[in-house]
Amino acid sequence: MKARIAGTGSYAPTRVLTNADLEGMVATSDEWIRERTGIRERRIAATGEACSDLAVQAGKRALAAAGVAASDLDMILVATCTGDFPLPATACLVQHQLGAMKAGACDLSAACCGFVYALSVADAYIKTGMRHVLVIGSEVMSAITDWTDRNTCVLFGDGAGAVVLSASDGERGILSTDLRSDGTLCELIMVPGGGSRTPPSEKVLAERLHYIKMKGNETFKVAVRTLEDIARATLAANHVEVEDLDLYIPHQANVRILKAVMERLGLPMEKVLLNLDRYGNTSAASIPIALDEAVREGRIKDGSLVMLGAFGAGLTWASAMIRW
């Protein structure tokens, strides 16, 4: 039994925030952002538009593409670090909006790796008897972004992507997943305030501890190393060479990170899906948005060999190999 991706969907808020717009907010330039990151613009949720709103739109599109009714879902997993509320889980709000009457629902927190982690969980659910699982990566990063901090505010964006995984006989589906972590590096990317360690308070607000902080330069180096290592491990586990890949879909954080990894792997950039110029870093949403674009643009066809690779806060890193 394999978990096959039966349909994909994505949704991005309509408001576009360009690098030129950011020039009016912090001491930065379009040139710096493009050269250092590859990002040109990102989408920003409207006031009152929350994580579940984006997730529901992406989820509906994935269900329509799969031809699966919400009422047939066994489980809904939402990977996010920007849920509507600390509790309940955003997945429960999605379950209600979709009318998925017999589905369980919970969130998964693994930052930018959240979607690949959730895919791995869903794969295990299907192998142990579930028929249809909806996996969504959805983020409103703008809600945890400090719009006065040029080190981070130029990087992130909002959006959601989703896949329906269905039980299937045959060779097509998720071939393997690989999940890693190193909590000694937890301070590289962190929202230090607002949780049980430092609950919400006037001090948290005044010191802006409820916003994302990142040691970008150190993260960059670890990202290159971990993405290369896990890609090699995943290729070896599936007994395939890098030349056998039809498409590599990485977490969309920084085009310079990806170019460095591809050079080390010997994978030409034409086989790498890049859309961060239009969305920035949408954390757990970045891979499923890119996956949906690749499917809709015909870059993934039946039989394609597709590898996913992610890294992010935790630190965590993860990969998946899929026969489409």
Residue 234 beta carbon to ligand UT7: minimum distance, rounded to whole angstroms: 19
Would you count residue 90 as binding ligand UT7 (CB under 6 A)?
Answer: no
Residue 262 beta carbon to ligand UT7: minimum distance, rounded to whole angstroms: 15
Overall residue count recorded for the chain in this entry:
324
Would you count residue 281 as binding ligand UT7 (CB under 6 A)?
Answer: yes
The helices-and-strands tally (H runs, E runs) of the chain is 11, 13
Contacts 24+ apart (CB under 8 A), 17-25: 17/41, 17/42, 17/43, 17/44, 17/157, 19/154, 22/153, 22/154, 25/147, 25/148, 25/153
Residue 114 beta carbon to ligand UT7: minimum distance, rounded to whole angstroms: 11
Q: Give the DSSP per-residue string, 236-263.
A: HHTT--GGG-SEEEE--S-HHHHHHHHH
Q: How far apart are CA 118 and CA 120, in angstroms?
A: 5
Instruction: Tell me whether residue 251 is one of the annotated catalytic residues.
Output: yes
Residue 63 beta carbon to ligand UT7: minimum distance, rounded to whole angstroms: 28
Would you count residue 226 as binding ligand UT7 (CB under 6 A)?
Answer: no
Look at residues 139, 132, 181, 183 and name the one whose alpha carbon lies nearest to residue 7.
132
Question: Which amino acid is present at 280?
Answer: G
* Structure tokens belonging to residue 151: 């080190």
Instruction: Tell me whether residue 254 is one of the annotated catalytic residues.
Output: no
Question: Which amino acid is present at 124?
Answer: A
Residue among 51, 81, 132, 281 flagged as catalytic: 281
Please report the sign of the dihedral spanned by the C-alpha atoms of residue 293, residue 296, residue 299, residue 302: positive
Would you count residue 275 as binding ligand UT7 (CB under 6 A)?
Answer: no
Q: Which residue has the tokens 């006989």?
A: 169
* Span interacting with ligand UT7, options 45-53, 57-65, 72-80, 219-227, rule CB under 6 A: 219-227
Residue among 51, 81, 92, 112 flagged as catalytic: 112
Residue 184 beta carbon to ligand UT7: minimum distance, rounded to whole angstroms: 16
Nearest residue to ligand UT7, by Cβ distance, number only: 216
Task: For ligand UT7, give the closer residue by CB, 193 or 312.
Answer: 312
Please select the residue that binds ligand UT7; options are 223, 230, 265, 284, rule is CB under 6 A.
Answer: 223
Would you count residue 324 as binding ligand UT7 (CB under 6 A)?
Answer: no
Site string for ligand UT7, 17-56 (x = CB under 6 A): -----------x---x---xx-------------------
Q: Tell me which DSSP letter residue 77 carries.
A: E
Look at residues 111, 81, 288 and name the one whose alpha carbon lies nearest to residue 188.
111
Task: For ligand UT7, give the closer residue by CB, 218 or 241.
Answer: 218
Residues 108-147 that bind ligand UT7 (CB under 6 A): 112
Would you count residue 216 as binding ligand UT7 (CB under 6 A)?
Answer: yes
Would you count residue 154 as binding ligand UT7 (CB under 6 A)?
Answer: yes
Q: Is there a contact between 64 and 177 (Cβ–Cβ < 8 Å)?
A: no
Instruction: Tell me whether residue 112 is one of the annotated catalytic residues.
Output: yes
* Span interacting with ligand UT7, options 89-97, 214-222, 240-248, 264-272, rule CB under 6 A: 214-222
Q: How far apart are CA 262 and CA 304, in angstroms?
A: 19
Residue 10 beta carbon to ligand UT7: minimum distance, rounded to whole angstroms: 18
- Within 10 A of 85 (CB to CB), how many other CB atoms are there? 12
290 Cβ contact list (under 8 Å, min separation 6)? 161, 249, 252, 273, 275
Question: Annotated catalytic sites, by residue?
Answer: 112, 251, 281
Footprint on this chain of ligand UT7 (rule: CB under 6 A): 28, 32, 36-37, 112, 150-151, 154, 189, 216-217, 219-220, 223, 253-254, 257, 281, 312
